[in-house]
Structure 1
Amino acid sequence: MKRGWKVTIALACALGVSAGGYTAYLYQSVKNTVSSIYEPVRSVAGGTGDRAEAAASNEPITIKTAGTAGSVPEADAQGVDLSQKQPFTLLVMGVDEREHDTGRSDSIIVLGVNPAKHSVLMFNIPRDSRTEIVGHGTVDKINHAYAFGGVQMAVNTVENFLGVPMDYYIKVNMEGFENIINILGGVEVNNPFAFKYEGRTYEQGPLSLNGHDALMYSRMRYDDPKGDLGRNARQQAVLSSLIDQAKNISSVTKIPEILDQIKGSTKTNLTMDDIMDIFTNYRQDIEKVDKDEVQGSGEMINHIYYYKVSDKEKLRIRSKLLEQLK
């Protein structure tokens, strides 16, 4: 065998070993990260059994408080089999946390994922929505649930508001969200109208935004004709673009950077197996994101602004989510 071929074969083998080693390194990195961010919660709605019961009726399911406010039990209650590509609900909470401050869930986004329908249903729950804070014994703005009782109370309160179990949740600190957008190369949005916010002008039409600009874009609401609903629509646009970016990561070398950001800014009840199942079984089947918005009206109560959502509107959005999950 000529020396040139020997060198080529040796180099190919070395590259193969290196690639295999890097793949093993990435897998172990993902596994370690998922382990560090895993934080289970107890579903007060009882998992998929109650969802099936709810789907057969036009009446909201009865949800009972489970556990102590803020407690974190050892096991989850959801019963979705992701290996069988079953539909599931996912609650995404963008939390603005500062030093010496628990923070509030600045963004509350519900996703209904159904690979059989090749779609995701996405809608925000307006953060000022007046509702019972489950486990706290008060009626308040829904985004206060996180401040009062952390992830557990926030999930329980959203379930109670919708009458639908949340199978999984992801809580993301907004600063970490900004950094993840930067690592993925920014996001693309179609801005419905021009506005200025925090020293930046956002022109009408297609925009390419870095992490900081995307975060500011999704936060503005006082100059939006639709107020919080307009803000929610921009949050959905940013998240939709980020999902598209994540599905098409151009280089595996970005993964360690993303993992570092996730480790310091994210909590979830998705396990390593869950994440691998979603990556393997769902990623290619999701072709579109259908968006909706929770309708209501503003009302001042004791000099405090609330967003009032009628029972009829709750039933509408609940029915649409359950239909998505069939």
Structure 2
Amino acid sequence: MKVFLKIFLIAFVSFVLAMGAGLWTFAKFYSAPVGQTKNDHGDDPSSIEVVDTVEEEEPESEKSELKRLIKESKRINVLLLGMEGPRTDTIVLASFDPTKGKLDLISVPRDTYYPRKGQHAADKKKINAVYGDEGIEGTMAAVRDLLAGIPIDRYVKVTYTGVERIVDSLGGVKVHVPIDMVYDDPYDIPPLHIRISKGTQVLKGKDAIHFLRFRKGNDGGGYPDGDLGRIRAQQQFMKAAMDKVLSFRLPVVANTVFKHVKTNMSLPEILLYAKDAVGMTRNDIQTYSLPGKATEKGPSYFLHDIDGTEKLITEIYQESYEE
């Protein structure tokens, strides 16, 4: 039972921290430079208005192969949500392969363009607006739709206050901050003020969240290599947190995790998954981002690449059959 508890706790803390590490990248501060393009729904991204869309049909052989992989797979897919009020500020799909003890995390940008019938306001055409209108079931259905129809039956929800408390229960996380981080957003609720000095240090609570959120400073500067540098920093944080969990007092952390996490997974399910995850290390966790591009003009949307997404899902599911 102690081994089960440890693996379960590692998995939950990893999921929670991965939420912060994976999607603050694409939340309020995402503005990657892209060329003028058409989105996957066939609209000009600078003037997206239509709700009913027509998608180009992919080859039937590719559809059949992906459907076969999904049908024969024993993967368990869990939707991980970081909540900010009535909206999902962070969306991550965790796909666990119990046969190989591998975990794949796919981050879905909160600004992902997802038009719905009857919803005409620009902000209502984003994936993060679905939860407020349709709840957890509607959100799972929407993410399933974006991710090539993979089955999603389970969810885990946490607030960023919960992430702060979990990090604090660990005594903070030691990371290397590559640059001075100074950023202010007086319009955020509550107002956001980031002040983290360059260097190796232990980050607790709010500073940990600020580290995960930081994209660029007040002067417009940021990571030298842009998003790649930020993603590396966030992954460094997640891995350091996992190492801390492995060596920490389990009851202290477990108590905090259970207070701030909500899920529809039963205890028997969790113990079953924990048994399958015995021996899993941080090297068995792979992180991905939903393929696509951000709009350069007009409404701020992330336009997901349908073909790229299906290719990614196919590759992840094929891993289960590789020796």
- TM > 0.5: yes
Matched, 1:59 2:54: no
For 1:233-281, what per-residue CA distance to the aligned partner results, in whole angstroms no more than 9, with x for missing partners? 655554444444444432535433443x33xxx3212111112223333
Question: What residue is the counterpart of 1:250 in the other structure?
Answer: 249
Unaligned runs of 5+ residues in structure 2 are: 10-59, 184-192
TM-score (norm 2): 0.62
Amino acid paired to 1:181 = V
Amino acid paired to 1:291 = T
What is the Cα-based RMSD across aligned positions, in Å?
A: 3.8
Between 1 and 2, higher relative CO (CA 8 Å, sep ≥ 6) is seen in 2
Structure 1 residue 155, shift from structure 2 partner: 1.1
Unaligned runs of 5+ residues in structure 1 are: 1-22, 31-55, 64-78
Q: Quote the sequence identity (%).
A: 23
SS of equivalent to 1:255: helix
Q: Is the 8 A contact 1:80 1:88 kept in 2?
A: no
Structure 1 residue 60, shift from structure 2 partner: 8.3
Equivalent-residue separation in structure 2 for 1:273 and 1:218 (angstroms)? 33
Question: What residue is the counterpart of 2:164 in the other structure?
Answer: 178
Equivalent-residue separation in structure 1 for 2:139 and 2:229 (angstroms)? 23
Structure 1 residue 315, shift from structure 2 partner: 1.8
Give the total of aligned pairs.
244
For 1:205-239, what per-residue CA distance to the aligned partner results, in whole angstroms no more than 9, with x for missing partners? x5431121111112223545687787666555544
Alignment of 1:304-315 (within 5 A): 304-315=299-310
SS of equivalent to 1:200: strand
Matched, 1:131 2:131: no
Q: 1:246 and 1:172, CA in 2 relative to 1: closer, same or farther beyond 3 A?
A: same
Question: What residue is the counterpart of 1:221 in the other structure?
Answer: 215
Equivalent-residue separation in structure 2 for 1:143 and 1:110 (angstroms)? 14
Question: What residue is the counterpart of 2:82 in the other structure?
Answer: 94
Equivalent-residue separation in structure 1 for 2:171 and 2:311 (angstroms)? 37
Equivalent-residue separation in structure 2 for 1:251 and 1:129 (angstroms)? 37
For 1:179-211, what per-residue CA distance to the aligned partner results, in whole angstroms no more than 9, with x for missing partners? 01111222244545443242412426x543112
TM-score (norm 1): 0.61
Alignment of 1:101-250 (within 5 A): 102=86, 104-133=87-116, 140-163=125-148, 164-191=150-177, 193-197=179-183, 198-203=193-198, 206-223=200-217, 224=222, 236-250=235-249
Q: Is the 8 A contact 2:107 2:290 kept in 1?
A: yes
SS of equivalent to 1:158: helix
Q: 1:207 and 1:142, CA in 2 relative to 1: closer, same or farther beyond 3 A?
A: farther
